[in-house]
Amino acid sequence: MPTSPADTGARLPDVSELSYEEARDALVRVVNDLEQGTSTLEESIALWERGEALAARCEEWLLGAKARLDAARTTASDAG
């Protein structure tokens, strides 16, 4: 059963500081923990909230990557 950071004294990294890969891997762990179904209601809610924040962080990275690719394509087509 997953333990909350308060139970272990551990601090989870700030989601806004995670790379895409770190956020994605953490999100996979959260989903796996939720799918186990062994968490208390309070732990499940905390996991869900963390998962939502991690998913939003991944989306930020992906939108940023898309914008960079779109800009590169525009620059390439303007030059060509």
Q: What is the pLDDT along the chain (80 residues), one digit of tens a residue?
A: 444 544 444 688 999 999 999 999 999 999 999 999 999 999 999 999 999 999 999 999 999 999 999 999 999 888 87
Reading the block at residue 19, the tokens are: 């790379």
Domain of 75 in residue numbering reads as 19-79
Residue 3 lies in a domain: no
**pTM exceeds 0.85:** no
The total number of structural domains that make up the chain: 1
Residue 6 lies in a domain: no
Quick check: helix, strand or coil at residue 18?
coil
Quick check: helix, strand or coil at residue 43?
helix
Residue 30 lies in a domain: yes
Residue 7 lies in a domain: no
Residue 11 lies in a domain: no
pLDDT at residue 80 in the model:
72
